[in-house]
């Protein structure tokens, strides 16, 4: 019924290449940056991109390339933690709800619905203003907000698989519930879950960048892509490379994972 | 499903592009575009358009105004018996003379002949009495109310006499804050009436405020016939209008804005009249140790910080006094702690912090100069092994948490003076003062400050006491003092006479077009 995609999956490949490239840069940033990302140099303020400063320098004479590397690290690590936490908890909740159903399922589903009814960044703002700023609180807030998307997805898949023959057979054979849930059903939900994880990753990157842009995420002296974008807007006319390079890094990071997600989606559908 | 990646890509693109949208203008721009004409340099009409950053929405009533931005405009409309001049002295306004008795208890103000309110009514002693009463009863400035509560005002013929319970060396500055208004006129909030060189014409909410020359002014009349203040609540929109030539005068610009200004306006540089510092909570460890505070003073390189944040503009200060207070400002205090990393490390070791320590600097996020300074200072402190984390908070949080509850370790902010008195800057550091945000506790300072209040002191002796207070603040390193921030004014090159005041005001009566 569906048209079979022939040949190579260009989305998957380009996404994988781009993501690998960005991941490589991020790993590089963890161990080495050309300059210290916080070192200031009054003599080198607002230098346009040059061999000495690949992406130029900012208003304190700090090397933007070093800061992009460090900022991407911070953003990436936050996104990684957020997805890891929210995916684990979401899948756990979703699988139990989907498999057992009943009142608990009803209540949890409604809670998830009500959380998703609010814009994510707005809710994150509320949580962070209650808990205080800083990396750990951003991770906490975003993880909480991302749980519903994973939980709903997993719940749907588990509810569907619950009545399938292979699950019924396993149940008749006396396989333990834990084994049925995580050895039999979970692997079958991966084609749906994997694209969701990559998309969740993108959303986490964007949310962290937005929160830092608004000044409630990563705090100054440390770098974060969102914070750098926020700082760069004052100098949009006099130092356009600042905003362009930082924004470009966000775009590339997200584009890689978007392509990866689209590729995975096609692989599943095709 | 297929559009998902596109959607996310677009979202990323929007995040980047949204930066460009931040300078969005307000919907009323079409109506205002035809207002550009009167402000062109060769304006046949003798009037100017001034850009201001906030609406005058607190109150126009002279005793209810709270915002500095409102005072800045209404300074041209209202006058007291005396008023401050650009040197920080008090000159006679509604009064023709100000005589102070030798014991400092009796102030005699003969009223000037021929002073007329903007509504045409002559100004009499009754109006002055009414103004003092109303001000004492309704003013929102608590220091003013306190000062007036110890004063008894009476009038005899055309002379007003104020008798004080106890001498108050700063009383003249409070007299200058009692704006003289006509008796039994209830419309001040809507249509203010004063005696100043300009009269209030109208205000359109979020749009503009218009002042007109007071033709009946007793003193040197204003040269300009009309001043229109246009309100731009968005800083980028204000700058765009200025750069487009739609405005004749804009004050309080940043060095970055000045560097981006391309239309040939004259740029004047003054100072903001505040003391910026890394204010340290003297009650919490390790800042309860004077050695640590001194170490921080040696550790930071303030000229380098000023170079990085404002291309070297601004004036270095070394204590709680800014240079516009010529009489009290001691420039040598700025050099009390030259940048000396070794000395700083030595002091830290002496205090038992040889390996440094960590603390948090809170900065109000809406004040870019303070955030920038905090960022640079935090970086400089790394050199002596001190780790400072910068935390940004919104202004309301800063006021309630840092200023109100004193719940902080260190903060970068600026303190200004509400009136032209040394005590406006120094009273707050007396150990039991309610505004002593940093919990400064120095008996020697308390004593020096108390001595300065002694009415029997001559002016020179009193000044010396205040200078002693400033020296004590510097010696004990109460805070890491940095600078009085640079304040830039862009002005139409054809305009002359702009004068910086030691207060947050712009005197429009001095401005005139070059002949």
Residue B484 is inside which H or E element, if any? strand B480-484
Assign B43 a pLDDT band (cuts: 50, 70, 90): very low
Token pair 């850009």 in the structure block, residue: B51
Please, what is the average pLDDT of chain A?
86
Chain B environment of A11 (Cβ under 8 Å)? 5
**What integer is the mean pLDDT of A192-203?**
89
Is residue A3, in this structure, part of any structural domain at all? no
Of the candidates A117, A118, A77, A90, the one whose C-alpha atom is nearest the C-alpha of residue A205 is: A77
| Residue A61 to residue B308, Cβ atoms within 8 A | yes
For residues A150 and A138, give the distance between their C-alpha atoms in angstroms, rounded to a whole number: 19
| Residue pair A142/A125 in contact by the 8 Å Cβ criterion | no
To the nearest whole angstrom, how far is the Cα of B279 from the nearest Cα of chain A?
18
| A150 within some domain | yes
Task: Tell whether the model's pLDDT for residue A18 goes beyond 50.
Answer: yes
CA distances from residue B452 to B167, B210, B471 in whole angstroms, order as listed: 12, 43, 14
Kindly tell me if the per-residue pLDDT of B169 is higher than 80.
Answer: no
Q: What average pLDDT does this structure show over A22-43? A: 87
Q: Which of A9, A216, A217, A219 best probes binding to B when mutated, by most B CB atoms within 10 angstroms?
A: A219
Q: Is the pLDDT of residue B38 over 60?
A: no
Closest of B410, B451, B399, B414 to residue B430, by C-alpha: B451
Residue-level pLDDT at A101? 85
Out of B1, B16, B376, the one facing A40 most closely (by C-beta) is B376
Q: For residues A121-133, give the mean pLDDT.
A: 83
B496: part of which helix (H) or strand (E)?
strand B495-496
Give pLDDT, residue B181.
Answer: 93
What percent of chain A is predicted at pLDDT more than 90?
A: 23
Question: Do the Cβ atoms of A254 and B9 come within 8 Å?
Answer: yes
Chain A environment of B13 (Cβ under 8 Å): 251
Q: Which residues of A touch B382 (CB under 8 A)?
A: 38
pLDDT of B457 reads 79
Chain A partners of B389 at a C-beta cutoff of 8 Å?
219, 221
pLDDT at B26: 35
CB B337 within 8 A of CB B303: no
User: With contacts defined as CB-CB under 8 Å, which chain B residues touch A255?
Assistant: 9, 12
Which residues from chain A sit within 8 angstroms of residue B308, using beta carbons?
Answer: 40, 42, 45, 59-61
Tokens of B384: 């002596």
For range B330-353, the mean pLDDT = 91
SS3 of residue B478 by DSSP? coil
The chain A residues in contact with chain B (CB within 8 A) are 11, 38-40, 42, 45, 59-61, 133-134, 199, 202-203, 206, 209-210, 213, 215, 219-221, 229, 232-238, 243, 247-248, 250-251, 254-255, 258-259, 261-262, 265, 269
pLDDT at B20 over 50: no
Q: Domain range spanning residue A185?
A: 10-26+53-269
Burial of A130 (0-12, 13-18, 19+ CB in 10 A): exposed
Mean per-residue pLDDT, B310-326 = 88
Which of left, alpha, beta for B184 (phi over 0: left; psi -120 to 50: alpha)? left
Tell me if A178 is assigned to some domain: yes
Q: Which residues of A touch B16 (CB under 8 A)?
A: 229, 243, 247-248, 250-251
Confidence label for A154 from pLDDT (cuts 50, 70 and 90): very high
The verdict on residue A37 lying in a domain is no
A159 pLDDT above the threshold of 80: yes
Confidence of residue B310 (pLDDT cuts 50, 70, 90): confident
A121 domain residue, yes or no: yes
Q: Which helix (H) or strand (E) holds A85?
A: helix A64-100
pLDDT band at B24 (very low <50, low <70, confident <90, very high): very low
Pairwise CB contact (< 8 Å): A251 & B5: no
Choose the mutation target among B19, B300, B361 for the interface with A, i.e. most A CBs under 10 Å: B19
Q: SS3 for A137?
A: helix
Q: Kindly report the CATH number assigned to the domain that includes residue A213.
A: 1.10.3720.10
Provide the mean pLDDT of chain B: 85
> What average pLDDT does range B476-494 have in this prediction?
92
Instruction: List residues of B whose CB lies inside 8 A of any A CB.
Output: 1-2, 4-5, 8-9, 11-13, 15-16, 19-20, 22, 256, 259-260, 304, 307-309, 365, 368, 371-372, 374-376, 378-379, 382, 388-392
Token code pair at residue B110? 């003969």
Taking the CA of residue A264 as centre, how many other CA atoms within 13 Å lie in the half-sphere pointing to its CB?
A: 20
pLDDT band at B5 (very low <50, low <70, confident <90, very high): low
In chain B, the residue whose alpha carbon lies closest to the alpha carbon of A44 is B308
- Band of residue B217 on the pLDDT scale cut at 50, 70, 90: very high
- Determine, yes or no, domain membership for A138: yes
> Are residues A206 and B5, on separate chains, in Cβ contact within 8 Å?
no
Does residue A44 sit within a domain? no
CA distances for B380 relative to A46, B338, B370, angstroms: 20, 14, 15
Number of domains in chain A: 1
What ipTM was assigned to the predicted interfaces of this complex?
Answer: 0.75
Residue B3: pLDDT over 70: no
- pLDDT tens column, A93-126: 999 998 888 898 899 889 988 888 888 788 888 8
A223-232, B17-26, B123-132: which range is least confident on average?
B17-26
Which range of A238-242, B112-116, B169-173 scores highest in mean pLDDT? It is B112-116
pLDDT at B409 over 90: yes
For B420-465, the pLDDT digits (tens) are 778 888 888 998 888 899 999 999 999 999 888 877 777 788 889 9
Share of chain B above pLDDT 70, in %: 91
B12–A265 CB contact, under 8 Å: no
pLDDT reading at B6 higher than 70: no
> Measured between CB atoms, which of B9, B259, B374 is closest to A258?
B9
Q: How many CB pairs under 8 A join A and B?
A: 99
Please check whether residue B238 is in contact with residue B468, taking contact to mean a CB–CB distance below 8 angstroms. Answer: no
pLDDT band at B212 (very low <50, low <70, confident <90, very high): very high
Residues whose CB falls within 8 Å of the CB of residue B284, separated by 6 or more in sequence, listed in order: B409
Least-confidence region, from B1-5, B15-19, B57-61, B352-356: B15-19
Query: SS3 for B308-358, per residue?
Result: HHHCCCCEECCCCCCCCCCCCCCHHHHHCCCCCHHHHHHHHHHCCCCCCCE
B407/B398 Cα distance (integer angstroms): 10
Nearest to B321 by CA among B133, B479, B450: B479
Angle between helices B443-452 and B459-475 (to 10 degrees): 160
Q: Which of chain A's residues have a Cβ under 8 Å away from the Cβ of B304?
A: 42
Q: A9-18, B41-50, B108-117, B383-392: which range is least confident on average?
A: B41-50
A201 found inside a domain: yes
| pLDDT tens for each residue of B91-141 | 999 999 999 998 888 999 999 998 999 999 999 999 999 999 999 998 877
- The residues near A99 (Cβ < 8 Å, ≥ 6 apart) are A158, A159, A162, A177, A180, A181, A185
For B171, the enclosing helix (H) or strand (E) is helix B171-177
């Amino acid at each position: 019924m569906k048209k079979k995609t022939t040949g190579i999956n260009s989305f998957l490949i380009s996404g994988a290449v781009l993501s690998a490239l960005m991941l490589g840069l991020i790993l590089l940033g963890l161990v080495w940056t050309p300059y210290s990302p916080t070192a200031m140099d009054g003599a080198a303020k607002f230098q346009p991109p040059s061999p000495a400063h690949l992406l130029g320098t900012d208003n304190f004479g700090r090397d933007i390339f070093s800061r992009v590397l460090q900022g991407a690290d911070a953003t990436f690590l936050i996104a990684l933690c957020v997805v890891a936490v929210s995916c684990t908890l979401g899948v756990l909740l979703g699988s139990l709800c989907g498999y057992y159903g009943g009142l608990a399922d009803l209540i949890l589903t409604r809670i998830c619905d009500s959380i998703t009814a609010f814009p994510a960044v707005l809710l994150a703002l509320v949580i962070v203003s209650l808990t205080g700023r800083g990396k750990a609180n951003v991770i906490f807030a975003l993880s909480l907000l991302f749980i519903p998307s994973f939980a709903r997805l997993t719940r749907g898949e588990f509810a569907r698989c619950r009545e399938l023959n292979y699950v019924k057979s396993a149940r008749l054979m006396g396989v333990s519930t834990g084994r049925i849930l995580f050895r039999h059903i979970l692997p079958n939900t991966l084609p749906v879950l994997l694209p969701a994880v990559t998309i969740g990753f993108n959303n986490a990157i964007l949310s962290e960048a937005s929160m830092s842009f608004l000044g409630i995420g990563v705090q100054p002296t440390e770098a974060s892509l969102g914070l750098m974008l926020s700082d760069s807007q004052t100098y949009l006319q006099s130092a356009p490379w600042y905003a362009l390079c930082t924004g470009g890094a966000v775009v590339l990071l997200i584009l890689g994972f978007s392509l990866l997600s689209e590729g995975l989606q096609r692989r599943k559908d095709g | 499903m297929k559009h998902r990646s596109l959607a996310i890509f677009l979202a990323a693109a929007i995040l980047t592009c949204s930066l460009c949208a931040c300078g969005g203008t307000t919907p009323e721009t079409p109506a205002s575009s035809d207002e550009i004409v009167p402000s062109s340099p060769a304006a046949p009409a003798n009037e100017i358009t001034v850009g201001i950053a906030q609406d005058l929405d607190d109150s126009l009533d002279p005793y209810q105004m709270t915002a500095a931005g409102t005072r800045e405009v209404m300074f041209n409309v209202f006058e007291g018996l005396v008023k401050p001049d650009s040197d920080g002295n008090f000159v006679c306004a509604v009064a023709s003379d100000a005589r102070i008795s030798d014991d400092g208890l009796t102030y005699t103000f003969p009223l000037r002949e021929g002073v007329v309110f903007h509504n045409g009514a002559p100004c009499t002693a009754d109006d002055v009495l009414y103004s003092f009463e109303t001000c004492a009863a309704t003013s929102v400035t608590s220091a003013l109310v306190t000062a007036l509560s110890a004063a008894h005002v009476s009038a005899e013929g055309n002379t007003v006499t104020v008798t004080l319970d106890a001498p108050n060396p700063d009383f003249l500055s409070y007299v200058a804050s009692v704006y003289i208004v006509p008796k039994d006129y209830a419309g001040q909030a809507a249509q203010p009436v004063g005696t100043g060189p300009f009269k209030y014409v109208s205000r359109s909410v979020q749009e503009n405020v218009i002042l007109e020359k007071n033709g009946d002014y007793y003193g040197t009349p204003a040269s300009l016939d009309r001043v229109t203040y246009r309100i731009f609540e968005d800083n980028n929109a204000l700058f765009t209008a200025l750069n487009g030539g739609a405005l004749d005068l804009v004050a309080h610009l940043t060095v970055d804005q000045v560097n981006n200004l391309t239309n040939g306006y004259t740029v004047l540089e003054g100072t903001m009249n505040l003391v910026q510092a890394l204010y340290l909570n003297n009650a919490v460890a390790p800042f309860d140790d004077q050695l640590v505070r001194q170490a921080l003073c040696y550790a930071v390189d303030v000229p380098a910080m000023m170079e990085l944040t404002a291309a070297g503009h601004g004036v270095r200060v070394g204590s709680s006094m800014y240079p516009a207070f010529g009489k009290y400002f001691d420039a040598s205090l700025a050099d009390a702690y030259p940048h000396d990393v070794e000395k700083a490390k030595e002091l830290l070791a002496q205090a038992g912090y040889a390996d440094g320590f960590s603390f948090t600097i809170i900065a109000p996020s809406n004040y870019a100069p303070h955030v920038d300074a905090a960022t640079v200072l935090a970086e400089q402190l790394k050199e002596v092994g001190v780790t400072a984390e910068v935390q940004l908070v919104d202004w309301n949080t800063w006021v309630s948490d840092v200023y109100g509850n004193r719940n902080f370790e260190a903060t970068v902010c600026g303190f200004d003076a509400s009136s032209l008195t040394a005590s406006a800057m120094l009273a707050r550091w007396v150990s039991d003062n309610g505004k002593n945000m940093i919990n400064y506790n120095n008996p020697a300072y308390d004593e020096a400050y108390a001595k300065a209040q002694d009415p029997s002191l001559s002016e020179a002796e009193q000044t010396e006491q205040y200078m002693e207070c400033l020296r004590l603040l510097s010696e004990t390193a109460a805070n890491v003092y940095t600078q009085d921030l640079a304040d830039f004014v862009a002005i139409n090159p054809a305009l002359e006479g702009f004068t910086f005041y030691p207060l947050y005001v712009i005197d429009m009566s001095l401005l005139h077009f070059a002949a």
